[in-house]
Structure formats: C-alpha cells, structure tokens
Amino acid sequence: MINTKNAKLNAWVKMWADIMQPEKVVLCDGSDAEFTRLMDECVANGLAKKLNEKKRPNSYYFQSDPSDVARVENRTFICSKKKEDAGPTNNWMDPVEMKHIMISKYNGCMKGRTMYVIPFSMGPLGGAISQLGVEITDSAYVVGSMKIMTRMGKCALELIEKTGNFIPCVHSVGKPLPAGLKDAKWPCAPIDDKYIVQFPEEHEIWTFGSGYGGNALLGKKCFALRIASKMAQEEGWLAEHMLILKLTKTATKETKYVCAAFPSACGKTNLAMLIPTIPGWEVKTVGDDISWMKYDKNGQLRAINPEAGFFGVAPYTSEKTNKNALDSCCANTIFTNVGLTPDGDVWWEGIGYDCPVGTIDWKGNVVADPASRDKDENPVAHKNSRFAAPAEQCPAIDPEWENPEGVPVSAILFGGRRPSTVPLIHEADDWNHGVFMGSIVGSEVTAAAIGLKAGVRRDPFAMLPFCGYNMGDYFQHWINVGAAAKDKTKLPKIFFVNWFRKDNGKFLWPGYGDNSRVLAYIFDRCDGKGETVDTVIGKVPAAGQINIAGLTDGTNEESMEKVLAVNPEDWKAEVALIEEHYAKFGKHLPKELRERLDSLKKKLGM
C-alpha cells in the first residue's frame, strides 16, 4: 500500500485497493524513467510497439480494441441527486443506484493487475487557477498518457500532501487478469459495459470498461470540463471547451489573448496553432482544447490551459493544414489507432504523402495495395485516431502558457459549421448578447453524413457533451459571471465566426491560415478601432475592414459582401429553430436570453 504524508489520500487508495484487489499498488512519480519503463513493459508484453528511434524518438504505438475508439456519450452519466440538476442534455442516473452498480463492477476488477496511483495538477503547479487530482488506474497506457497530458508525479503529490485537496478519479479497464493468462492487446469491457460517471455534487469521477481517451484520461473531459464546470459554477469562474491563443502585432509588439469555442470538426486546433498569412502578425498557442478563466484581484478575466499536452486527432493533420501540430508529435509521443509503416513510423489519411506498401492499419491488417483502399469506408488510421504529445514541443507554444496567474483574455469567439445564414464574423453588443450567441452555437449536418436528422445540431458553447450540470443553469452562470465583473470595460469582447459559409456549393472564405485576417480585425475591435455596420444580429465589419490583399483563391470585394451578408429572412427561419432549442430548458432558461430572443424577433418584425 502507498504511504504518503497525507492520511486522507492513503485511506482513499486503501479503500479502493480493498475493493479492486490489485496484485500490487504503485505510486507514480511522473519521471521520464518511469514513462520509458512502463512503455517498454507494454512493448515486451505485446501491448505496444516502439517507433523508429531516429524518426520518432521515445514514441510508442498502440492499437485499441475496435469497441474502444472514442468517447462513449450514451454511456456517460451525470449523477446528481436530482434529475433536474443534470438537465435535458445529460444522461442521468440516481447516484446511490449508480454507485451500487459501479461497486459491483469494481469488485475484484484489478485482480492480477497493478493499481497505479497518479497524483496530478491541472494547470501550472500551485497556480491561482489550477486544481489537483489523483487518478487510480490499472492501465500503463493511461499512466503514460497522463504523464504527457498533465503535470503529474512528485511535485503534484507534494501539493496534495500539504493541502489534502484533490479530485478523486477512479478508473479501471474492467478486465481482471487471472494468473497464467496472457493479457489482451487492449484490455477493456464490451461496449454496453462501459461507464463514464461524474458525481458533480461530490466532485468525483468513476469510470469503468474503457481504456481510451476522455473515458480513461480522467484529467481531460471528465475533470477539466464536467466536474470543473460544476466547481466553476459554485466558485464563480469558468471551465470551458475553448482554445487559447496569443495574437501579436509584430510592429508594435502589442498582444492580445483570444479564447474560442467551436464544436468538433470546426477548426479549433488549426486556429490554436495558426500560422498567419498576412505580414505583421504572429500567433502563439496557449492551449488547443480547454480554458479555465477566473477574475484576478484587478477584475481582469485571466485564462489557463489546464492541460500539459495535446490529445490531437491525427487524420488530416499535415504540413499544409497544421504544421505546428505535426511538429508537436515529433518525439515523446503516444500514438493510438494510426497506421504503422514498415520503417517503424506512423501514417494517417491526409498526412501529405502516400501510404507506404506494407503499412499496418489500425485493425492490424497489412495494407498491400494502398491505392485501391477506400479511405472513407476502410481507412488505414481510424478517423478518431490520436496523438498525445507534450505541449512544450509545439514550435508555436507561448512562453506565458505556464504562467500560474494565467493570461488576460481580450476576446471570446464562438463558431460553428454553417453553410448559410451566419456571416463570417459578427460582434456582440454586450456580454449578455455574447452569452445569447454562445447559447445558440450549432453546426449544420446532413442526414447522409452522420445519420442524424438534417438541420442545425445545437452545441451551446461547444459544451453539449461536457457540461456537468443543467445547461440552462450553465447559461445563467455565464450571465452571473458577466454581472460580477468589477469593471465592465475589462470584459472580453465576444464574437461569432463562421469559416464555412458557401455560395453555390463553394466555400466563400479560404480558412486555415487566412483566418489570421479575421483575427487581425478582432484585435482592432478590441481597441475600439475598425468600422462596423449594425445588423439585426450584431455588428459586422464594414466593407474593406478585413484585409484580403494577396488572396489568390478568388476572394474579392463581391465575395466578401456575400460572406458578411445578414439576410433577415434567413434569420426569421433561424428564430424558429432557436425557439425549439430553448424550449427544452423550460424554467431553467435565463430570462435575459428570452429577452434577447424577443429583441431579435422585434428587429426582424416578427
């Protein structure tokens, strides 16, 4: 059993060890030597492969079970005491009932395995916005990934020993290993026996049966969003599914920090690591996925990236789409479900060069004829294949990313994938108008694409799968945070962006690095500069305010007029969809948002 200087931690670990009955208990120290030892043990046991040391130093390759390739939303639960407190967007179960189920699952689940105890910090060690956690797991893959994704080990343990404060995170792959039996390549439970459970009132996380991603790396979505969002509501801060970037005007060295929330497949990581296409601007990365924001003593909203690494989607990451992300996983990286090339490197669709003959696909099959392979129906790399890479390896990482006080936030962006209706950018009139914008975020989908009813799929604040309590109350919390500002002039400006507007099936905006042109406009708006035009939905840039000089894709004044257009008839149809969206929140919908919608309807003459 472990013997730390904190009796609470020791007792907690002993309680779980008595239930789970591991062969041994190991307290992780977070060292490089520990990482290499555990990963090499996985290789020796046939659970992983070490990649070519010259091409990809200190990096490892895993293939998951086909049932364990992504977050499992239908097996994810918010177990508040009252169903109403989980709200209409979460799966709920009574916490007493769920704990009864989970304890029965956990009973003896680590027989024959090692219980690893992982002390970790979300955010810079000892920082004003940071939080501590401890995860227990029976997966060396999880230990290695948590080493990359959090500040893990002795330094975090010392803080926990001093304070006794930590978020308890319990995980097991759910596959006991009887004596003499060879381990599975990827041990896990069947799909209908996986549980991703959050207890928001107790600030606890229990998961079972999955070894993958946000189901198993409990510092990520479970802690940093679902539990942290509830903590933030209680304590007056914000835990958000947002990137953080620094924008610098190189001539004057002026800087501004921007946070942005987009649903999946809307370019979040690409924006976080953007390389500008217009001269005179520089972008640095603070974080690509999660932002925690608190007011400092001067009333300035400051943000940290609580993570220490990137858990990036591999497919279509290339020199062209995101060179900084590609360079981030050059070494010290864990790859999962990508292709393994004959020379011991990795490959995925969209990497920028052809798949080598003899590559092993994510299911373990040899790719004999890459040219004849259907990349959509039978990809070499799973579409959700991942790399876990240290953030400090990103060539564009901002030196301030480790600042324990966080960075000052000047602007917040919301966005979604909308081929019509929503302009390239519009600006909120004030904070509550910005909350209204965040509450109606959505992406347009086709039934053929992902098997959903065609139309706008709402993902408010890009938090739909990650809000740890009633989302109507979450909207109210955002309103309360704005109201709590000591100096309203210091509140970040809020914008809505849409890189995906189309005309006759063709994108009207080039996107990628050219999004720097929109960021430059936002920078000026934060200083009160730049000309705008008032519309029914907010301010849009006046003609000529976004620099399009040098664009060669056909973007011109005429196409800019189209991409910035606000059509009242389109918005009348949108209002009906917003009404339907808001209806599900009932009495939990803040009156301020109802007033904003009524104001929009009045402007539209409805």
Which residues are tagged catalytic?
Answer: 266
Q: What are phi and psi of 223, to 5 degrees?
A: -85, -55
Q: Which DSSP string corresponds to 208-272?
A: ES--SHHHH-TIIIIIIIIIHHHHHHHHT-EEES-EEEEEEETTTTEEEEEEEE--TTSSHHHHH
Helices (H) and strands (E) in the chain, counts: 17, 32
- 13's enclosing H/E stretch is helix 7-20
Nearest-angstrom CA–CA distance, 292 and 425:
24
Between CA 233 and CA 74 the distance in angstroms is: 25
Contacts of 305 (CB under 8 A, 6+ apart): 123, 244, 286, 287, 288, 289, 290, 291, 391, 401
Interhelix angle for 431-439 vs 471-483, to 10°? 160
Nearest-angstrom CA–CA distance, 242 and 240? 5
Q: Can you state the percent helix, strand and coil of the chain, rounding each to 5? A: 35, 25, 45
Helix (H) or strand (E) holding 324: helix 319-328
Task: Pinpoint the alpha helices (H) of 107-188.
Answer: 140-149, 154-163
- Single out the residue of 239, 225, 262 nearest to residue 437, CA to CA: 262
- Side chain identity at 94, as an amino acid letter? D
Q: Where are the beta strands (DSSP E) in 298-446?
A: 301-304, 309-313, 334-336, 339-340, 346-347, 359-360, 366-367, 386-390, 407-415, 425-427, 442-445
* DSSP annotation of 500: T
- How far apart, in whole angstroms, are the C-alpha atoms of residue 197 and residue 168? 12
Whole-angstrom distance, CA of residue 166 vs CA of residue 435: 31
The length of the chain, given as a count of residues: 606
Q: Are 261 and 246 within 8 A, CB to CB?
A: no
Amino acid type, 12: W
**Sign of the torsion angle spanned by Cα atoms 523, 528, 532, 537:** positive
Hey, how many other C-beta atoms are within 10 angstroms of the C-beta on 569? 9
